[in-house]
Chains A and B, each alone.
Chain A
Amino acid sequence: MDLETFFKNQNEKKQLKILTCGSVDDGKSTLLGRLMYDSKNIYSDQLSQTQTESEKYGTQGKKIDLALLIDGLQAEREQGITIDVAYRYFETENCKFIVADTPGHEEYTRNMATGASNSDIGIILVDATKGILDQTKRHTFILSLLGIENIIVAINKMDLIDYDEKIFQEIKQSFKLTSSQFDFKTEEFIPISALKGDNVFIKNKNIDWYKGKTLIEELEQISLFNYEEDFFSLPVQWVNRLSSNFRGYSGTISSGKIKVDDEVQVLPSKEKNKIKKIITPSGEKDIAVKDQAVTLTFDKEIDVSRGNLICSNEKHNYFSADQFASHIIWMNKEKMLPERNYIFRFINSQIVGKITDLVHKININTFDKIASKSLGLNEIGYCKVALNKNTIFNSYKNNKRLGSFVIIDQFTNQTLAAGVIDHELRRASNISWQDMSINKNLRSSINGQKPCILWFTGLSGSGKSTIANIIEQKLHNLSKHTYLLDGDNVRHGLNKDLGFTDSDRVENIRRISEVSKLMIDAGLITIVSFISPFKSERKMARELVEENEFIEIFVDTPIDECEKRDPKGLYKKARSGQLKNFTGIDSKYEIPDKPEIILKTETKNAEDLADQVLQYLKNNNKI
Chain B
Amino acid sequence: MKLSHIEKLESESIHIIREVVAEFENPVMLYSIGKDSSVMLHLAQKAFAPNKIPFKLMHIDTTWKFKEMIFFREETAKNYNLDLLVHINEEGVRDKISPITHGSKIHTDIMKTQALKQALDKYRFDAAFGGARRDEEKSRSKERIFSFRDKSHRWDPKNQKPELWNLFNTKINKDESVRVFPLSNWTEIDVWQYIFQEKIPIVPLYFAKIRPIIKRNNMLIMVDDDRLELKQNEKIEQIQVRFRTLGCYPLTAAVESSASSVEEILIELLETKHSERQGRLIDNDQIGSMERKKQEGYF
Q: Are A346 and B134 in contact (CB under 8 A)?
A: no
| In-complex Cβ contact of B161 among A96, A279, A281, A415 (8 A) | A415
Given A84-B157, A85-B142, A87-B134, also A400-B5 (CB < 8 A): no
Query: Is A73's beta carbon under 8 Å from chain B?
Result: yes
How far does the Cβ of B250 sit from chain A's closest Cβ, in whole Å? Answer: 20
Q: Which one of A10-18, A132-140, A157-165, A527-535 is at the interface?
A: A10-18
How far does the Cβ of B26 sit from chain A's closest Cβ, in whole Å? Answer: 16
Query: Is A111's beta carbon under 8 Å from chain B?
Result: yes
By a CB distance below 8 angstroms, the chain B residues around A242 are: 48, 51-52, 54
Query: Is A512's beta carbon under 8 Å from chain B?
Result: no
Q: Which one of B61-69, B70-78, B219-227, B268-276 is at the interface?
A: B268-276
| In-complex Cβ contact of A345 among B2, B5, B169 (8 A) | B169
Query: Is A181's beta carbon under 8 Å from chain B?
Result: no
* Chain B stretch 121-161: residues in CB contact (< 8 A) with chain A: 134-135, 138-142, 157-158, 160-161
Q: Are A74 and B51 in contact (CB under 8 A)?
A: no
Given A73-B291, A83-B158, A240-B51, also A98-B3 (CB < 8 A): no
* Chain B stretch 46-61: residues in CB contact (< 8 A) with chain A: 46-52, 54
By a CB distance below 8 angstroms, the chain A residues around B4 are: 10-13, 15
By a CB distance below 8 angstroms, the chain A residues around B270 are: 1, 6
Query: Is A429's beta carbon under 8 Å from chain B?
Result: no
Question: How far is B137's CA from A591's CA once the two chains are assembled, in angstroms?
Answer: 42
By a CB distance below 8 angstroms, the chain A residues around B172 are: 413
Query: Is A221's beta carbon under 8 Å from chain B?
Result: no
Query: Is B199's beta carbon under 8 Å from chain A?
Result: no
By a CB distance below 8 angstroms, the chain B residues around A331 are: 162
Query: Is A601's beta carbon under 8 Å from chain B?
Result: no
* Chain A stretch 73-111: residues in CB contact (< 8 A) with chain B: 73-75, 77, 83-89, 91, 96, 98, 110-111
Query: Is A571's beta carbon under 8 Å from chain B?
Result: no
By a CB distance below 8 angstroms, the chain B residues around A408 are: 169, 171
Question: How far is B48's CA from A243's CA once the two chains are assembled, in angstroms?
Answer: 11
By a CB distance below 8 angstroms, the chain A residues around B189 are: 91
Question: How far is B128's CA from A439's CA once the two chains are assembled, in angstroms?
Answer: 50
Q: Are B142 and A238 in contact (CB under 8 A)?
A: no
By a CB distance below 8 angstroms, the chain A residues around B46 are: 281
| In-complex Cβ contact of B266 among A6, A13, A96, A343 (8 A) | A6
Q: Are B21 and A246 in contact (CB under 8 A)?
A: no
Query: Is A44's beta carbon under 8 Å from chain B?
Result: yes
Question: How far is B287's CA from A1's CA once the two chains are assembled, in angstroms?
Answer: 37
| In-complex Cβ contact of B169 among A240, A347, A404, A406 (8 A) | A406
By a CB distance below 8 angstroms, the chain A residues around B7 are: 281, 292
Query: Is A295's beta carbon under 8 Å from chain B?
Result: yes
Q: Are B51 and A346 in contact (CB under 8 A)?
A: no
Q: Are B164 and A279 in contact (CB under 8 A)?
A: no
Q: Are B173 and A74 in contact (CB under 8 A)?
A: no
Question: How far is B167's CA from A343's CA once the two chains are assembled, in angstroms?
Answer: 13
Q: Are A43 and B169 in contact (CB under 8 A)?
A: no
Question: How far is B292's CA from A257's CA once the two chains are assembled, in angstroms?
Answer: 45
Against B, the Cβ 8 Å flags (1 = close, 0 = not) of A512-528 are 00000000000000000
By a CB distance below 8 angstroms, the chain A residues around B83 are: none
Q: Are A406 and B3 in contact (CB under 8 A)?
A: no
Q: Are B167 and A293 in contact (CB under 8 A)?
A: no
Given A87-B184, A408-B171, also A289-B141 (CB < 8 A): no
Question: How far is B102's CA from A536's CA once the two chains are assembled, in angstroms?
Answer: 50
Q: Are B164 and A404 in contact (CB under 8 A)?
A: yes
Identify the interface centre among B14, B134, B266, B267: most chain A CB within 10 Å of its CB: B14
Question: How far is B161's CA from A104's CA once the two chains are assembled, in angstroms?
Answer: 18
| In-complex Cβ contact of B21 among A71, A238, A292, A345 (8 A) | A238
* Chain A stretch 376-423: residues in CB contact (< 8 A) with chain B: 400-401, 404-406, 408, 413-415, 418
| In-complex Cβ contact of B18 among A15, A91, A238 (8 A) | A238
Q: Are B139 and A237 in contact (CB under 8 A)?
A: no
Question: How far is B51's CA from A250's CA once the two chains are assembled, in angstroms?
Answer: 12
How far does the Cβ of B179 sit from chain A's closest Cβ, in whole Å? Answer: 15
Query: Is B185's beta carbon under 8 Å from chain A?
Result: yes
Question: How far is B75's CA from A522's CA once the two chains are assembled, in angstroms?
Answer: 69
Query: Is A436's beta carbon under 8 Å from chain B?
Result: no
Q: Are B142 and A292 in contact (CB under 8 A)?
A: no
| In-complex Cβ contact of B273 among A1, A10, A44, A279 (8 A) | A44
Q: Are B274 and A414 in contact (CB under 8 A)?
A: no
Which size class do B's interface residues fall under?
35 or more
Given A3-B263, A43-B274, A347-B167, also A291-B158 (CB < 8 A): no
How far does the Cβ of B155 sit from chain A's closest Cβ, in whole Å? Answer: 11
Q: Are A74 and B141 in contact (CB under 8 A)?
A: no
* Chain A stretch 105-152: residues in CB contact (< 8 A) with chain B: 110-111, 113-114, 117-118
Identify the interface centre among A84, A246, A348: most chain B CB within 10 Å of its CB: A84
Q: Are A292 and B11 in contact (CB under 8 A)?
A: yes
Give the nearest-CB partner of B164 in chain A.
A117
Q: Are B22 and A306 in contact (CB under 8 A)?
A: yes
| In-complex Cβ contact of A89 among B134, B160, B173, B267 (8 A) | B134
By a CB distance below 8 angstroms, the chain B residues around A7 are: 193, 196-197
Question: How far is B291's CA from A52's CA once the two chains are assembled, in angstroms?
Answer: 18
Against A, the Cβ 8 Å flags (1 = close, 0 = not) of B260-299 are 0001001100101111001000000001100110000000
Query: Is B10's beta carbon under 8 Å from chain A?
Result: yes
Q: Are A75 and B11 in contact (CB under 8 A)?
A: no
| In-complex Cβ contact of B5 among A1, A75, A96, A281 (8 A) | A96
Q: Are A87 and B52 in contact (CB under 8 A)?
A: no
Query: Is B234's beta carbon under 8 Å from chain A?
Result: no
Query: Is B79's beta carbon under 8 Å from chain A?
Result: no
Give the nearest-CB partner of A252 in chain B.
B15
* Chain A stretch 451-469: residues in CB contact (< 8 A) with chain B: none
Q: Are B275 and A406 in contact (CB under 8 A)?
A: no
By a CB distance below 8 angstroms, the chain B residues around A578 are: none
Q: Are B18 and A74 in contact (CB under 8 A)?
A: no
Query: Is A45's beta carbon under 8 Å from chain B?
Result: yes
Given A53-B287, A246-B51, also A10-B6 (CB < 8 A): yes
Give the nearest-CB partner of A332 in chain B.
B162
By a CB distance below 8 angstroms, the chain B residues around A346 are: 167
How far does the Cβ of B244 sit from chain A's closest Cβ, in whole Å? Answer: 11
Question: How far is B40's CA from A328's CA once the two chains are assembled, in angstroms?
Answer: 35
| In-complex Cβ contact of B275 among A46, A71, A287 (8 A) | A46
Closest A-B pairs by Cβ, 8 of them: A242-B51, A74-B288, A43-B275, A72-B138, A293-B14, A293-B11, A117-B164, A413-B171
Apart from A238-B22, A279-B49, what are 19 other A-B pairs with CB-CB below 8 Å?
A10-B6, A44-B273, A73-B138, A73-B288, A84-B157, A84-B158, A89-B187, A237-B19, A246-B51, A292-B3, A292-B11, A295-B49, A345-B167, A347-B166, A404-B164, A406-B169, A413-B171, A413-B173, A415-B169
Supply 22 A–B pairs (Cβ within 8 Å), ascending by A. A6-B270, A10-B6, A13-B5, A45-B275, A72-B140, A73-B139, A74-B292, A87-B142, A89-B185, A91-B189, A117-B164, A238-B18, A240-B51, A242-B54, A257-B1, A289-B1, A291-B3, A292-B7, A293-B47, A295-B49, A408-B171, A413-B173
